């Protein structure tokens, strides 16, 4: 089975739409793949740690996070 990892579309990501600029997806990832330096900035990804579980994608209302085959 091919490995899948999370991908962030930076053109779709708009932290202004998230509560107080905090990325809702960050807290959902138990692998801590997602990291937000500060509110109102897009999250950064440490994709090598990603399990491809897609839990984080459910948090993003603009569908900026996707799990793609790697």
Where does this chain bind ligand SF4 (CB under 6 A)? 6, 13-15, 17-18, 23-25, 28-29, 31, 33-34, 42-43, 50-56, 59-60, 62, 64-65, 67
Task: Quote the least distance from Cβ 19 to ligand SF4, whole Å.
Answer: 9
Contacts of 24-27 spanning 24+ positions with Cβ under 8 A: 24/59, 24/60, 25/56, 25/57, 25/59, 25/60, 25/65, 26/56
Query: Given the complex with ligand SF4, which of 52 and 69 has the nearer CB atom?
Result: 52
Task: Quote the least distance from Cβ 26 to ligand SF4, whole Å.
Answer: 7
The DSSP secondary-structure symbol of 46 reads -
């Amino acid at each position: 089975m091919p490995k899948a990892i999370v991908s962030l579309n930076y053109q779709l990501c708009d932290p202004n739409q998230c509560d107080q600029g905090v990325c809702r997806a960050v807290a959902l990832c138990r692998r801590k793949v997602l990291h937000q330096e500060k509110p109102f900035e897009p999250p950064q990804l440490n994709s090598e740690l990603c399990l491809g579980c897609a839990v984080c994608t459910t948090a993003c209302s603009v569908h900026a996070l996707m799990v793609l085959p790697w």
